[in-house]
Amino acid sequence: MRIESVERGASTTKIVAGGSLFLCRPRYLEALGIDPEGLAPGQDLDEEALARLGLAAAAGEAESRALGLLARAEQGRYLLSAKLAKHELPRRAIALALDWLEGQGLLDDGRYAQAWLRSRLGGPGATPAKLLTGLRAKGIDEGVVKAALAEVFGAEERKEALAQAWEKALKKTAGDKDEARSLLRGLGFKSQEIREYLESLEA
């Protein structure tokens, strides 16, 4: 397969080879071992080089689609990758794009986790166990989850969530305080914070 034309723009290189058009960002060409400046009309490409051109072009598409989603709301890498995969983009191309976006600070699991937590504070699911499970289900790393919880779900937020959960637990157990305490522990509240909260009610 022979390159028919190469047009270099500010951020994209247009390559026509074998009648096909490849719109490639130089950074992805370089990441795949292709020298963007070395591409020239008349140059012969083997199947492997052609496949790498296709991957570079797909990575550029993945980046554009990802930026569109990030412009609407914070995204976690795991779910963003799944959304891009629905467009039948190669997994390696998606990984290249997301690696670059993370390197630029445009994609950040920690920032996404904090935004997700803040959107749920004060709601019925704002218990330690449910928040932890929710973030894990979104593919967020355990260390990132714990850091986000420590940042967003602090002492005051936990106390507010505990107060709501306690009222519900009392209703559910028909006023049985021992059983209500057990329910709260199952929701991820610590025995000490439960005891301190109940003592504050009696003070």
Question: How far is residue 57's CA from residue 97's CA, in Å, rounded to a whole number?
Answer: 11
**Sign of the C-alpha dihedral, residues 74, 77, 79, 83?**
positive
Low-confidence ranges of the chain (pLDDT < 50): none
Residue 45 is predicted with a pLDDT of 92
Taking the domains of the chain in order of start, what are their residue ranges? 3-107, 110-202
φ, ψ of residue 40 to 5 degrees: the values are -150, 150
Question: How far is residue 57's CA from residue 27's CA, in Å, rounded to a whole number?
Answer: 11
Residue 17 is predicted with a pLDDT of 93
φ, ψ of residue 102 to 5 degrees: the values are -65, -40
pTM of the model: 0.85
Residue 14 is predicted with a pLDDT of 96
Residue 203 is predicted with a pLDDT of 63
Q: In the chain, what's the furthest Cα-to-Cα distance?
A: 86
Residue keyed to tokens 């329910």: 183
Question: How far is residue 110's CA from residue 19's CA, in Å, rounded to a whole number?
Answer: 44
Residue 43 is predicted with a pLDDT of 94
Q: Could you please state the CATH topology (level 3) that the domain comprising 3-107 is classified under.
A: Arc Repressor Mutant, subunit A (1.10.10)
